[in-house]
Structures are given as structure tokens and as C-alpha cells.
Amino acid sequence: MRFKLKISYYLFKIKLVKLTGLHTNKRYLKRRKKKFLKNLKKSNFYNSFSLDYHDFSSLPIMNKSSFMKNFNDINTCGISYEMASDIANKAEESRDFSPMINNISVGLSTGTSGNRGMFLVNESERANWVALMIDRVIGFSFKKTSIAFFLRANNKLYESTSSKKIDFNFFDIYLDFDSHINRLNDLQPNILIAQPSVLMLLAKKYENGSIHISPNKIISVAEVLTLEDKNYLETIFKVKLAQVYQCTEGFLATTCSEGVLHFNEDFLIIEKKYIDNKKTKFHPIITDLLRKTQPIVRYELSDIIVEKSSCKCGSPFMAIESIEGRSDDIITFLDAHKKVVSIFPDVIRRTIVLSDDRISDYVFVQISNKQITLYIESDFSESYSIAVNALSQKLNEYQIQNFSIKQIKHSPHKLGDKKRRVINDK
């Protein structure tokens, strides 16, 4: 009961702040910064720095490696990496994700890079997260809402959404996928939440008649949602897709009424690290003013963000044109003059997709400066050679000539891992 009261409190607070316009008020954000920095002094790691809410630049920029290296000193609840890792590993092995450390929920993420990430949230943070999910993703309703959530791993954070009005159902994607079909058909979920690679599998099951569900909301999470996948899924399920941009580091963005992702700048500070000369693509550097148990401060993500200049919905929060995967997967070659040429993943994706609209799936892997492997899924055998010709022409535009493309017959993607269609594996 106490936890549900907390959810109600945070939901009321979120609605009130939005109704009064405080969520865009600079003074309100300053107060949040002050409160956040006061709590930050409890962190042994950050207490050694000069903390000034006007300027966070004295604090170091973190990444997953440095964040995990300083795990023990960053968190404010005295939990060691070994203690958290032990709980998380046992949960992974047993597939029982209920154990916590006191009232602290422990989550484990491998991420797209394969590097382990660990996150800690207390009861109040879980309640606040649930309230935000209800407000911005699920939607408040007096009717009972059933949710099918396909995940690599369950967690108290996700289970916290369950109530008399919200029926949360975890589907473990590491289990045999066909074992979920009967349960999903019996559930008839109002809301379906999964990563795009899982949604694509569900769509194919829907097409062949194995699955007969009619969700009124489908939410894409965890992976990059490409335009071609989005169009296909919306055509099959006849529902406009929503997106949630969330990772180990926090709840970052969600789609508006226009279907555009916006950063949650009412509690996030977003710094931009531009990675191209035109300053159109950047890495977001995140500071989350809601995270107290494990502060997220100036955390640089490797995701490539393209900012949208404006959005018809009128939100003052930063809009996202697209998320183009990770910088680790920027493709690099030597051109005819031995100069290093960098090609963003989206260029490769668009080249393949636009080459033949009969291509239903693909994976491009750069093995070395001269070798590429390519998987093409299509009902037409000539689709592979069409894609190869298009890629060769595109690479030639960059004066890249000395390379070979080798066909692979099966997709290297494993269910449960985040799907990457363009991979730099040099």
C-alpha cells in the first residue's frame, strides 16, 4: 500500500507540475539542481569535487567503463559492485528477478556493446519511474490495462507497474519464442512493449495467423527503430508505434502526439558532444536529476543523435530526428589516397534499404579495412546482388575501392541481444 501511495503522490506531482507550467520554468529547474547536488554530496566519488548547480563542467564526463570502475564510490547506499553483481548473476541464472538488497532494486544490462552495466534504484525512484511511465507512455485509465512486456530480464522496476488497474506481464525472450504464443493470445494485451527485433518476430507470427492480438498501443524500446521497421509494424498491426528511449542510464525520451521523440528535459540535463563538422549529430551527455541512489552525472552515451529543429506538438523539449546507432559502429575505410574515411551507420542502412524494397532484413558487418560480410533476407535471390551493387557504388563515391563483400546465409543476431544491423567488428 505504501508503494502504491508513493506512485499516486508522484503521478499527482507530475500532473500538477505540468498543469502549472513549472516543468518548463527555469527557476523550478534550478531548485531541482540544488536538491540534486545536495544529495550528490552523499556520493564519495562526487563529494571530492566542487559542486555548483550553475556549472557542472568541473565534474568529469563518464562512460560505462569509468562508471562501473567507480561503482562503489558513486552510489550513495554503500552497495559494492561485488554484492550487486552477485544478486544480478543469480537472477540471470535462475530467471527469478525478485531479490533486492534491502529496498534497492538491482538491474543488469549488457547494452549494445556487450559491456555489462549495473543500475540501482530505491523504492521512491521506482515509484517515480512508474508514475512517469503512466503519464508519458502507458497513459492513465480507469479501465484495467493489460501489458505484455517482452524483456531480456525482468526487474522490480518493471514489476512495480502492476496494480488493480495495470496488469503487467513479463515475457522472457530467452525462452523458446513459440512458448509465448498461447499465453499472449489468452492475455489479449492492450499494450505491447518490446524491442524492434522482437516486434518484427511477433508481426511475422501475426501475418501467418499464429498470433491474433489487437493491441491499441505498441511501444518500441531498447533498440534503434528504423523507419522501414516502423512502417512495416504499423502496416501489420494497424497501430501507430510509440517509442521509449531508455537505457541503463535512465528514462531519456518518449514520443509525443506527433510520433517524435523528445528528451525529458524537465528532469534531464542534456549536453551535446558534436561528432560531425556540420554539428548535426551528437553524443548526448546525460545528467539525471531524479537519480539519487546511483547518481547519473555527465554520462556520455555512444548513441548518435540527430536533433530535430522543431516539432508540431509545440513541446519546448529537445526533439530527436533519429537515433543512428552507436559511434562504435561508424564504418571506417582507407580511400584511394590512403586517407581514413568515416561513414555513419545510417548511410549504410539507407543504401541497403533503398536498393530493393523487397529486402525484409539485413546485417552489414565490417570485418577489416578490406572485408565486409553481408546478410540479406528476401524472398528474391537477386536482392543480395542488388544490395551489393548499391553498396559498391556508395563506397566508390567515397573513393573506397579496395574491398570485398562476402555473403552470409544466416543473420548473426541472437534473440535477447540488442539488434545491430550495421556493425564495425574490426
Kindly report the CATH number assigned to the domain that includes residue 166. Answer: 3.40.50.12780
The mean pLDDT value of the chain amounts to: 87
Residue ending a domain, choose from 295, 327, 359? 327
Instruction: Tell whether 241 and 189 lie within a shared domain.
Output: yes
Instruction: Tell whether 38 and 88 lie within a shared domain.
Output: yes
Residue ending a domain, choose from 327, 352, 375? 327
Distance (Å) of CA 20 to CA 14, 28, 255, 258: 10, 11, 22, 23
Element (H, E) at 372: strand 371-377
Instruction: Tell whether 212 and 263 lie within a shared domain.
Output: yes
Instruction: Tell whether 318 and 349 lie within a shared domain.
Output: no
**In sequence order, what are the beta bridge partners of 244?**
254
Q: Does residue 292 carry a pLDDT above 90? A: yes
What pLDDT was estimated at residue 394? 93
Measured between alpha carbons, how far is 269 from 288 in angstroms, rounded to an integer?
7
Q: Is 350 helix (H, G, I), strand (E, B) or coil?
A: helix
Instruction: Tell whether 356 and 301 lie within a shared domain.
Output: no
Instruction: Tell whether 387 and 239 lie within a shared domain.
Output: no
What pLDDT was estimated at residue 324? 83
- Highest-pLDDT range among 73-77, 193-197, 306-310: 73-77
Give me the CATH number covering residue 359: 3.30.300
Q: Is 159 helix (H, G, I), strand (E, B) or coil?
A: helix
384 is in which domain, residue-wise? 330-424
Q: Is 349 helix (H, G, I), strand (E, B) or coil?
A: helix
Measured between alpha carbons, how far is 357 from 227 in angstroms, rounded to an integer?
13
Q: What are phi and psi of 7, to 5 degrees?
A: -60, -45
pLDDT-derived band at 75, boundaries 50, 70, 90: very high
Instruction: Tell whether 214 and 349 lie within a shared domain.
Output: no
Instruction: Tell whether 120 and 216 lie within a shared domain.
Output: yes
> CA nearest 118: which of 237, 302, 242, 296?
296
**In sequence order, what are the beta bridge partners of 144?**
none
What pLDDT was estimated at residue 152? 66
- Highest-pLDDT range among 51-55, 221-225, 348-352: 348-352
Instruction: Tell whether 10 and 36 lie within a shared domain.
Output: yes
Measured between alpha carbons, how far is 313 from 305 in angstroms, rounded to an integer?
20
Instruction: Tell whether 395 and 255 lie within a shared domain.
Output: no
Number of domains present in the structure of the chain: 2
> CA nearest 196: which of 219, 163, 178, 165?
219
The cell 534499404 sits on which residue? 353
Percentage above 70 pLDDT, the chain: 92
Considering only 35-39, 155-159, 290-294, which range has the smallest mean pLDDT? 155-159
Average pLDDT, stretch 37-45? 92
Average pLDDT, stretch 347-361? 91
Q: Which long-range contacts (CB under 8 A, 24 or more apart) does 1-9 make?
A: 3/123, 3/126, 3/127, 3/160, 4/163, 6/123, 6/124, 6/127, 6/128, 7/127, 7/130, 7/131, 7/134, 7/160, 7/163, 9/127
Residue ending a domain, choose from 327, 358, 374? 327
Instruction: Tell whether 128 and 146 lie within a shared domain.
Output: yes
Of residues 392 and 179, more confidence is placed in: 392
Instruction: Tell whether 408 and 391 lie within a shared domain.
Output: yes
